[in-house]
Amino acid sequence: MLDGEKKRRAVAIDFISKVKEILLEVAPDIWGKGYDDMNAVYVQRRDADTGKLNTSIYFRYDWHYGHDCSESEGFYFADQCGFGMPVWGNPVSGYSGSDFWYMVQVILEWLPIVLEQMEKRSAGREQLLALINTEAAGQPGQQEPTAAE
């Protein structure tokens, strides 16, 4: 049984690592400098009454340096030492048991919210590109390419 738990945990940590690598590429585009310009965002959950709620888990997508320490990219659990900001938490991978599995569940529930944010930005880019192309085609000296060209 213990061996099975170790394997499940290894799969979950690998999954979180892959999610991190994917999000590192798109995070600045989605969230800019993040919460309070700290290159980190809180992992959110959907709430039936109030919409989206921040959790105590955050995703750091660029290094953060303090006076005596630093924090690398990844998922963290923010305890009280961050003073309400996404900083100086403990890596999710450092937790075990029900705490670890709760954090994995929260991250999984957050991914559709992130996907929604990515899709909105993509749709906005497409609209802007279409507008630019339409305006450029109507400018003097600009012409639409023809099949002969």
Q: What is the pLDDT of residues 91-140, one digit of tens each?
A: 999 999 999 999 999 999 999 999 998 898 888 888 888 888 887 776 66
CB 70 within 8 A of CB 82: no
Domain membership of residue 93 (yes or no) is yes
> Is 101 within a domain?
yes
Residue 10 has pLDDT above 70, yes or no: yes
- pLDDT(149) > 60: no
Query: DSSP character for 142?
Result: -
| 3-class DSSP assignment, residue 104 | helix
Whether pLDDT at 147 is above 60: no
What are the C-alpha distances in Å from 40 to residues 37, 69, 88, 109, 124? Answer: 8, 16, 11, 18, 23
Q: What is the pLDDT of residues 44-58, one digit of tens each?
A: 999 888 788 889 999
Residue 40 lies in a domain: yes
pLDDT for 33: 94
Domain that holds residue 65: 2-112
**pTM, entire model:** 0.81
The whole-angstrom separation of Cα 106 and Cα 33 is 22
* 75 or 5, greater pLDDT: 75
The answer to whether residue 100 sits within a structural domain is yes
Question: Would you say residue 148 lies in a domain?
Answer: no
Distance CA 96, CA 139 (A): 62
Within a domain: residue 140? no
Question: Could you give the count of Cα atoms lying within 13 Å of 30 in the half-sphere of its Cβ?
Answer: 18
| 141 has a pLDDT exceeding 60 | no
- Alpha carbons 34 and 61: distance in angstroms, whole number: 9
Q: What's the whole-number mean pLDDT along residues 28-43?
A: 93
- Please enumerate, as own/partner, the contacts of 40-44 that have beta carbons within 8 Å and a separation of 24 or more: 40/64, 40/86, 40/87, 41/86, 42/78, 42/86, 43/75, 43/106, 43/107, 43/110, 44/110, 44/113
Number of domains forming the structure of the chain: 1
Average pLDDT over residues 78-89: 77
**Residue 140: predicted pLDDT:** 61
Is residue 74 assigned to a domain? yes
Question: Does residue 79 lie within any of the structural domains?
Answer: yes
More confident residue, 66 or 14: 14
Residues 74/46, Cβ–Cβ less than 8 Å? no
